[in-house]
Amino acid sequence: MRLSILALLLSTAPAFAAAPVIDNARVTVWDVPLKAGESGAVSSDAFDSVILFLEGGVVKTVHGDGKVTTASHQLGDAVFVARGSHDVNTAISAAPGGGVHEVVIALKNHPGTPNPASPGLPNAFPRAGAVKMFENDQALVWKFSWVPDQPVPMHHHDKDTVMVFRYDGPVRILPFARNEIRWSPAGTTHTETLAGEQQSVVDLEHK
């Protein structure tokens, strides 16, 4: 029975509707907005993945062994999916006025290059106001919201990072847009100030 369910999933689960938004030596990233009743793709055979949630709701997951789980997610939640799990997520109910919005990040095996901060300079995370949402031996996920006109102290990004922005809101002079996804290689040193009304980010730091 379990083998039959797995075979059905592999034959009927939809592929991602669009090409990856980021694809490099370290990660492949897909933007996966789901309306209620829509399903994502079968999870990767090749790489472990992390799913970040930009907009939440109730999600049903059918696992490769036939087990079915249901969970409610909100902004900043992060779910680890081991390679070969053959999981399929379906949005059951979506956030008011939107949908369940997943960002799926495949973590490739290419090692990162250490990029430590200069002495006395803090790393980007942890920082005041940031909440650690997930950590394992491959990645860290942080949720952070800027406060208008309150600068974040000078800091150094020591890890490659996938950044996912929730709102339209410029930080410093960069116009980050709602649901924008960016790749930031390790090595950036800067401060940040929110110039608009609101902005939140979910950052995956790839170790």
What does the pLDDT look like over 122-132, one tens digit per residue?
999 999 999 99
Pair 60, 94 in one domain: yes
Please tell me the distance from the alpha carbon of residue 203 to that of residue 52, in angstroms, as a whole number: 9
Q: pLDDT tens for residues 133-187? A: 999 999 999 999 999 889 999 999 999 999 999 999 888 767 889 999 999 999 9
Torsion angle of alpha carbons 170, 173, 176, 181, nearest 10°?
Answer: -150
Q: What is the pLDDT of residue 16?
A: 62
- Residue 1 binned pLDDT confidence (cut-offs 50, 70, 90): very low
Q: pLDDT tens for residues 73-132? A: 999 999 999 999 999 999 998 766 678 999 999 999 898 888 999 999 999 999 999 999
Q: What is the pLDDT of residue 99?
A: 81
Q: Does a structural domain hold residue 117?
A: no
How many domains are there within the chain? 2
Pair 170, 81 in one domain: no
Domain of 90, in residue numbers: 2-107
Per the CB < 8 A criterion, the answer to whether 29 and 179 are in contact is no
Closest CA to 43 of 80, 91, 75, 81: 81
Closest CA to 192 of 168, 178, 166, 174: 174
Pair 51, 145 in one domain: no
Pair 23, 96 in one domain: yes
Q: Does a structural domain hold residue 39?
A: yes
Pair 96, 185 in one domain: no
Pair 69, 143 in one domain: no
Pair 187, 94 in one domain: no
Q: Does a structural domain hold residue 126?
A: no
Pair 75, 7 in one domain: yes
Q: Which CATH number does the domain housing residue 57 bear? A: 2.60.120.10
Q: Taking residues 181-204, what's their average pLDDT? A: 94
Q: Does a structural domain hold residue 119?
A: no
Pair 97, 171 in one domain: no
Q: Does a structural domain hold residue 24?
A: yes
Cα end-to-end span (Å), the chain: 39
Pair 101, 137 in one domain: no
Residue 152 makes CB contacts below 8 A (sequence gap 6+) with 127, 146, 191, 192, 193
Q: Which of 107, 140, 167 represents a domain boundary (last residue)?
A: 107
Please tell me the distance from the alpha carbon of residue 68 to that of residue 162, in angstroms, as a whole number: 29
Closest CA to 61 of 82, 76, 30: 82
Pair 65, 153 in one domain: no
